[in-house]
Structure 1
Amino acid sequence: MTAPDRLTPGDPAPEFSLPTDTGDTLTLADLRGRRVILYAYPAAMTPGCTKQACDFRDSLASLQAAGFEVVGISPDKPEKLAKFRARDAITFPLVSDVDKAVLTAYGAYGEKQMYGRTVTGVIRSTFVIDADGKVERALYNVKATGHVAKLRRDLGLD
C-alpha cells in the first residue's frame, strides 16, 4: 500500500453512510446545511484517542454554538464505539468504518510512520466540511493531545 491520496480545500467531501454507536446510520447528506468536523482516529478506548474524544466532547457546546457538528470515525465496530461512548460520556456521533473504505476515500487510511517504521493504519486526521459538502480544511497527522485547542484557534473560536 502506498501513501493515500489526500483531500485539499475545495474538494467535495466523500459521501458516506455508516453505522453509528447507537445502531443508527449517519450519512454526510444528513448533515448538509451545517458545518461538520469529521475526525478520524485509530482505535476507541486507547489513551490518545480517548484524550482526543474527550477534548471534542468538552468543546462540543462552543463548537455547536459556532455552527459545527462533530463526528468521529474509526474502523471499530459499533458495539465497541457504544462502550467508548458510555465509558467516556461522548456526546457526539461515532461512526464505524470497519472496511476502511470511507477512511481511505478521505486519505485517512494508508501508510504512515509509527515509531520509525512504516505501517498501514488510520492516519489521525481532521476534516472541516462546509454546509455544501466541500472540504474547508484537511488536516493530516494531527496530534491527539492539543489538537482540538489548535483547531479552535485556527477556526477563530478562541
Structure 2
Amino acid sequence: MPSLTKSADQPRLIVNSSSSRFAVRTALETLTTQLSEWGMADEKLSEVELVAAEALNNIVEHACEGKDGVPFSLTATRDSELLRLDIQDEGRAMPGWQLPATAEPEADLPKLDVIVADLPEGGWGWLLIRDLTESLHYVRVGAVNHLTITLPWNCS
C-alpha cells in the first residue's frame, strides 16, 4: 500500500510505494483521484494516466526486473498551466544512462507490416510518452533513477 502526502502550500501529491503486482494500479488510482480533485478535465486525465502507467510499468518491468519490494515514488506537482510528474526508483539504470534515442521516431516504432495477430503487444510506451508530454528528463544519481515528465494541464 502506498503512502500519501499532500502539500498545503502548493498542489502536490507524493505517493511512496514499492514494486509489486498491484503497486502501479494503486499509484495510478491515487494520482487520478487527486488530479480530478484538482479539477483536471477527464480527457486530459486519461492522457496523464496513460503516460504515468507507461512510465511506472516500465520501472516495475525493466528497472526492477519484475522483483517485488523495490522502492519507487511518484510526485505530482501542479501549477497554473503545467503538471510535473517526478518519478524515482531504485531499480537498474536506463541503458546508457539515458532515455531511448529520439533522433528518428520511426526507428522506435514496432513493425506494422504484419497481420493483426502478429502485431507486437509492447514497444509503444516511449512513443506514447513522448507524444503526450511537453518535456522529459532522466538522470541517475547514485543508485536512484529520476524521471521528470512535464505535461500541459489543459487539453491541447
TM above 0.5, one fold? no
Q: TM-score, length-normalised on structure 2?
A: 0.25
Q: What is the TM-score with the length of structure 1 in the denominator?
A: 0.25
Instruction: Give 1 or 2 for the bigger CA radius of gyration.
Output: 2
